[in-house]
Structure 1
Amino acid sequence: MKITNFSQIQSTSVNTASNDTKKKDNQTHLTETYIPTTKSTQTDNSLWNYTPHEIGKQTNVKTASMFSNDLTTPDWDVLPTKGKQVPSQDELIEQMKALARRTAKAANDSTHRNNDENHAINRQFAILRAQYISPVSPDRQALHQQAMKAIKQFEAEENENATPLGELSLVTYLSKRDGGIEKNIAMSTDGIVKPRQNSLGGYDYEVVVGGQTLLTSINGKWHYGLTPAEQQKKDEFNKIYWSFVDQAKNELKNLSNQQE
């Protein structure tokens, strides 16, 4: 039976596919002996390359702040959000079937797998999934704009409290902590932004509304958390899509048998 609409799909039983010292350096530490010199330091300016007029001169070099995070712009093609333009139901089904055929073909030809093709398939999968989920999604674009205003204010305050080397003083650092956890940032709406230090020396952020994480950054790149309604739509999408992949694999197998 060929699937032409979602009602048929959801009533059909399908199979879902599952995914996929330091060696210690025992070097001996050498001890250097300091031998004082009788040579006049005033006559040996070559060691320092500074003239008496240059000593104490203010430098024009600016230190970089550790709080600049360089958050990327969210990839709204793959992030579900309210208001996203999505194709019609029939068109979305056809796009899912076409991608399923590409997936089946790539799996069938694993010995000549093309990394560019795999990347293209994975991205198109994420785009279609976001389109399928978006009708039940919150407005993440508006939420991101509100969060960025709060984040910019937070980072500006962090920079003001930084030392010339771009680090927080101990007193400021401790005052910014609440029981060992970074203090949350209130947004203009009911949501909050939770800052956390990342492996790059800056901050990542978690945007939470009503106890639900809707946006989160990892090393500056934005990802999303699902609401219960979105999770249900995601599960539906996966079930439908992988049923199309199974169907495409069977068609390829039958075609191969006919050619033998």
Structure 2
Amino acid sequence: MSAVASPIRVSGLEKSYKDLHLLRGIDFDVAGGSIFALLGSNGAGKTTVVKILSTLLSADAGTASVSGFDVAAQPAQVRGSISLTGQFAAVDEVLSGRENLVLIARLRHLSDPGGIADDLLRRFSLTDAGGRKVSTYSGGMRRRLDIAMSLIGHPPVIFLDEPTTGLDPEARIEVWQAVKELAVQGTTILLTTQYLEEAEHLADRIAVLHQGHIIANGTLAELKQLLPPAQVEYVEKQPTLEDVFLAIIGVDTATDTPSGPTRKDSR
């Protein structure tokens, strides 16, 4: 199948549950090989969007396509072109990391499942832990393994539904790095999150979902332009608790975390 310029297209999407109108006609496109963040508070409808796009839920109105396939009319083709990682790692804790990967490769009827597993363990820095049971993994390791499992079969589109929920700061950084590497390799990623710094750190474009509507959609720079000009006051930056925590455990915040503002400037 040839590459699609916008592997994800959503137009006029609506979804209600009785009197609860979750989606009220939302529109957005996601460019190929980019990270698109759908940002919103709990209950805003982010997971509902992902469920519709992954054919797990039907929309009440509107259209959506993934990898050029209509989600309503061609659900099998959509499912064959995507992978979905939910809020909790879908891994078998009784099996080792490598056995989890081999199992998925076999279920997909791929040749050389062992080689596929070893390659993914290397890509996600899990080789040394590959032979251990997943029950011994940290939260960040489990999430990285979960994302690695979602790559088996080389899906061009991946949905990450709040992938860092419940993770500590160090584990969150591990996941961020894995997600960025996927986009560099050409995977199209739709990321849902309620964490502002996560969207700022990862996304090429950000859409804000609020009360059933996309109320803003653009790059971080474009969204900042929506604010009125503010008086600039230069102040000394004080470290946050996260800065202190990461410094104590030896993580280089200058390269691995989003830098905090050094001035009060809304632009």
Shorter-chain TM-score bucket reads under 0.3
Which structure has the larger Rg over C-alpha atoms? 1
Question: Normalising by structure 2, what TM-score?
Answer: 0.22
> Where is the strand percentage greater, Structure 1 or Structure 2?
2
> Where is the helix percentage greater, Structure 1 or Structure 2?
1
With a CA cutoff of 8 Å and minimum separation of 6, indicate the structure with the bigger relative contact order: 1
Question: Normalising by structure 1, what TM-score?
Answer: 0.23
